[in-house]
Amino acid sequence: MTRTRDPEQTRRRLLEAASDEIHRSGFQSASLDKILKKAGVTKGALYHHFPSKAALGLAVVNEVVAGKIRSDWVLPLGCCDDPITAIRTTLAEALQTSGSDYVALGCALNNLAQEMSPINEEFRDCCGEVFGEWKGGFADVLRNGQVRGLVRSDIDPESAATFLVAAVEGTVGMMKNAQSLEPGRQSMEMLDAFLESLRPQTPKHSLPVVGLPGAPAGCEDC
Amino acid sequence: MTRTRDPEQTRRRLLEAASDEIHRSGFQSASLDKILKKAGVTKGALYHHFPSKAALGLAVVNEVVAGKIRSDWVLPLGCCDDPITAIRTTLAEALQTSGSDYVALGCALNNLAQEMSPINEEFRDCCGEVFGEWKGGFADVLRNGQVRGLVRSDIDPESAATFLVAAVEGTVGMMKNAQSLEPGRQSMEMLDAFLESLRPQTPKHSLPVVGLPGAPAGCEDC
State pLDDT tens for residues A52-88.
999 999 999 999 999 999 999 999 999 889 999 999 9
Query: Does A15 contact chain B (CB < 8 Å)?
Result: no
For residue A152, the tally of other CB atoms under 10 A from its CB is 18
Tell me which of A221 and A127 has the higher pLDDT. A127
Whole-number pLDDT of residue B201: 81
A20-43 average pLDDT score: 94
Whole-number pLDDT of residue A4: 54
Asked if pLDDT for residue B2 goes beyond 70, the answer is no
The predicted-structure confidence for B164-184, as pLDDT tens digits, reads as follows 999 999 999 999 999 999 999
Q: Where are the beta strands (DSSP E) in chain B?
A: none
The predicted-structure confidence for B16-25, as pLDDT tens digits, reads as follows 999 999 999 8
Interchain CB distance below 8 Å, B186 and A159: yes
Q: Work out the minimum CA distance from A3 to partner chain B, whole angstroms.
A: 34
- Chain A residue with CA closest to B24: the answer is A118
pLDDT band of residue B213 (cuts 50, 70, 90) is very low
Whether A196 and B197 have beta carbons less than 8 Å apart is answered as no
Cα–Cα distance, B118 to A9 (Å, whole number):
31
Using a CB-CB distance cutoff of 8 angstroms, which residues of chain B are in contact with residue A165? 170, 174
Q: What is the DSSP string of B72-127?
A: IIIGGGGG-S-HHHHHHHHHHHHHHHHHHHHHHH--HHHHHHHHHTTT-HHHHHHH
The predicted-structure confidence for B202-212, as pLDDT tens digits, reads as follows 644 444 444 44
Q: Reduce the DSSP state of residue B150 to 3 states and report it.
A: coil
Of B191, B149, B209, B85, nearest in space to A201 by CA:
B209
Whole-number pLDDT of residue B6: 87
Interchain CB distance below 8 Å, A174 and B131: yes
Using a CB-CB distance cutoff of 8 angstroms, which residues of chain B are in contact with residue A158? 186
Write out residues 146-185 of A within 8 Å (CB-CB) of B: 152, 154-156, 158-160, 162-163, 165-171, 173-174, 176-179, 183, 185
Q: What is the DSSP string of chain A?
A: ----S-HHHHHHHHHHHHHHHHHHH-TTT--HHHHHHHHT--HHHHHHH-SSHHHHHHHIIIIIIHHHHIIIIIGGGGG-S-HHHHHHHHHHHHHHHHHHHHHHH--HHHHHHHHHTTT-HHHHHHHHHHHHHHHHHHHHHHHHHHHTTSS-TTS-HHHHHHHHHHHHHHHHHHHHHHTSSHHHHHHHHHHHHHHHTTS---GGG--------SS-TT-S--
Query: Does B132 contact chain A (CB < 8 Å)?
Result: no
Using a CB-CB distance cutoff of 8 angstroms, which residues of chain B are in contact with residue A104? 118
Interchain CB distance below 8 Å, A207 and B187: no
Whether B192 and B145 have beta carbons less than 8 Å apart is answered as no
Mean pLDDT estimate for chain B: 90
The predicted-structure confidence for A176-206, as pLDDT tens digits, reads as follows 999 999 999 999 999 999 999 999 986 444 4
Report CA torsion sign: A101, A102, A106, A107: positive
pLDDT band of residue B221 (cuts 50, 70, 90) is very low
Whole-number pLDDT of residue A202: 65
Cα–Cα distance, A155 to A143 (Å, whole number):
10
Asked if pLDDT for residue A171 goes beyond 70, the answer is yes
What letter represents residue B154's amino acid? D
Question: Which element (helix H / strand E) includes B20?
Answer: helix B7-25
Whole-number pLDDT of residue A217: 43
Q: Reduce the DSSP state of residue B188 to 3 states and report it.
A: helix
pLDDT band of residue B216 (cuts 50, 70, 90) is very low
Q: Which of A95, A102, A114, A123 to mutate to test the interface with B (most CBs of B within 10 A)?
A: A114
What letter represents residue A203's amino acid? P
User: How many inter-chain contacts (A to B, CB under 8 Å) are there?
Assistant: 165
